[in-house]
């Protein structure tokens, strides 16, 4: 008990020391956090100045990414190469559908505005599929050059991972961006098989599947990868020319698939111009609505069938 004042002073002094250490650690952490925020802000500003842009509708994007629809939209957008977030795409589509409803409804009849909105919703999904197909076609056209770069790099004694990094620097988009994703995944420790399989999933095509299978088998079992890539380069060049000829031959048929629905809309405008309010009278009855729905379904069916018949697999 005689040492109680001394013990009390020691505990008080220890508490003060710990308090000072805590305040110093807190202030240091706050300073580091502020420095990190400033650095990230400068990086974002530099990205915007170098060609990037600020993302719009961030609240909608955060909400949408938590839903199944948002995840599906994000997967589709990632395969198209569009500079859009799921939230931006969702807001733009909703705005376009509302505009389509009011414009078509005012020109033809309100019921036609509803049908136009439904077709527009289908067209929004088709737009992503078209962009994905367009990007895949552009990537396929770059495959001969890609295989040539990989063959030259492997012939020089470089590893396949290094050869992919060289291809990122040599090729243009979209091959540059897609191969950069593969290189980033490899840098994070993902296996070559998984990274290349992910590439095939984003851009499905027979040519890319053959190339990826060749690279994976050569990476697993070894062998003459250089000669395989040389032969594959010649084959891809021939397929590229064949695909170009087929596309030219079928271009007229594809234009017909678009021209037929446009002619149908022109006939509706002629009918409404011959007698004002004719379309309103037609869609006010149940039989007229059924006839319009059936006609729109037949036009859509014809469009789909023409595109399916002209889809030649080489």
Token pair in block for residue 238 = 């021939």
What is residue 52's predicted lDDT score, i.e. its pLDDT?
A: 53
DSSP string, 39-84: HHHHHHHHHHHTT--PPS-HHHHHHHHTSHHHHHHHHHHHHHT-S-
What torsion, rounded to 10 degrees, do the Cα atoms 311, 96, 259, 81 define? -30
**Interatomic CA distance for residues 82 and 93, integer angstroms:** 14
Ranges 82-86, 130-134, 136-140, 214-218: which has the least confidence: 214-218
Instruction: Give the count of beta carbons closer than 10 Å to the beta carbon of residue 84.
Output: 18
Question: Are 208 and 140 a contacting pair, CB within 8 Å?
Answer: yes
pLDDT recorded at residue 50: 41
Sole residue written with tokens 């991972």? 161
Q: At residue 258, does pLDDT exceed 60?
A: yes
**Is residue 264 over pLDDT 70?**
yes
Residue 212 in this model has a pLDDT that exceeds 60: yes
The pLDDT of residue 40 is above 60: no
Task: State how far the Cα of 85 lies from the Cα of 299, in Å rounded to an integer.
Answer: 32
Q: Which of 160, 262, 179, 173 is nearest to 220 (CA)?
A: 160
Rounded to whole angstroms, the Cα distance separating 235 from 231 reads 6
* For residue 34, pLDDT beyond 70: no
d(CA 27, CA 23): 6
Helices (H), 188-224: 192-202, 206-221
């Amino acid at each position: 008990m005689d040492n109680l004042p001394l013990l009390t002073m020691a505990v008080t002094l220890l508490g003060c020391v710990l308090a000072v250490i805590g305040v110093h650690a807190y202030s240091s952490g706050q300073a580091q956090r502020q420095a990190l925020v400033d650095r990230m802000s400068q990086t974002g500003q530099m990205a915007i100045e170098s060609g990037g842009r600020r993302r719009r509708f961030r609240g909608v994007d955060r909400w949408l990414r938590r839903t199944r629809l948002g995840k599906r939209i994000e997967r589709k957008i990632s395969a198209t190469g569009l500079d859009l977030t799921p939230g931006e795409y969702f807001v733009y589509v909703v705005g376009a559908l509302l505009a389509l409803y009011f414009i078509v409804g005012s020109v033809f009849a309100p019921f036609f505005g509803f049908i136009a909105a439904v077709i527009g919703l289908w067209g929004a999904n088709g737009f992503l599929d078209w962009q994905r197909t367009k990007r895949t076609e552009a990537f396929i056209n770059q495959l001969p050059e890609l295989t040539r770069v990989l063959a030259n790099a492997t012939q020089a004694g470089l590893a396949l991972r290094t050869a992919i990094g060289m291809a990122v620097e040599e090729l243009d988009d979209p091959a540059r961006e897609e191969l950069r994703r593969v290189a980033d995944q490899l840098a994070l420790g993902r296996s070559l098989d998984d990274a290349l399989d992910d590439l095939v999933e984003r851009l499905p095509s027979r040519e890319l599947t053959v190339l990826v299978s060749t690279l994976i088998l050569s990476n697993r079992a070894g062998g003459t990868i250089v000669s395989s890539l040389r032969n594959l380069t010649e084959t891809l060049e021939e397929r590229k020319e064949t695909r170009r000829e087929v596309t030219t031959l079928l271009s007229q048929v594809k234009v017909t698939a678009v021209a037929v629905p446009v002619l149908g809309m022109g006939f509706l405008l002629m009918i409404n111009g011959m007698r004002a309010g004719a379309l309103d009278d037609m869609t006010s009855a149940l039989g007229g609505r059924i006839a319009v729905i059936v006609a729109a379904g037949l036009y859509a069916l014809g469009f789909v069938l023409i595109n399916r018949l002209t889809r030649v697999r080489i």
